[in-house]
Amino acid sequence: MAARAKDMRVLVATEDFEAVGFNVPVAEFVRAADLPRHDALRRLGPDLLSEDFDSEEAVARLRARGSMPIADALLNQTVMAGIGNVYKSEVLFACGVNPFAAVSGLTDVQIACLVSTAQKFLRTNVTDRLAR
């Protein structure tokens, strides 16, 4: 079903892109100068799209989730920033990991696969869209 114009709540546009938010209950805009003092943003995990993405930090933050199901841990933006529900599912499938498995039950190889695949999938999506 196509989004309706009357449901549009937020429009952020630049010379190259437009991002539209529909049915957004709350939108918060933060000036660049205020970003370092924004509590919720300071708690975000390593950004998968950042040029200086710290995979070791992401692995450590995942491991710290212990008995949490891996699907929930991947959605937690304080672990790694950027994964949403669709990418969570795709990454788990690509790595052959059960979404209900506890983080503590995963091997180092599985955790490394999840982190590297998440980064690869997100970067590929952004790169492909920018190339169009």
What the chain holds in terms of domains, given with CATH numbers, is: 5-40 (no CATH), 45-131 (1.10.8.50)
Q: How much is the average pLDDT of 24-40?
A: 85
Answer for the pair 28, 62: CB distance below 8 angstroms, yes or no: no
Task: Pick 31 or 59 by higher pLDDT.
Answer: 59
Nearest Cα neighbor of 65 from 115, 104, 108 is 104
Which of 17-21, 104-108, 124-128 bottoms out in mean pLDDT, i.e. has the lowest?
124-128
| Predicted local confidence at residue 27, as pLDDT | 83
Answer for the pair 119, 50: CB distance below 8 angstroms, yes or no: no
Answer for the pair 51, 43: CB distance below 8 angstroms, yes or no: no
Q: pLDDT of 69-94, one tens digit each?
A: 999 999 999 999 999 999 999 999 99
CA dist 53 and 33 (Å) reads: 22
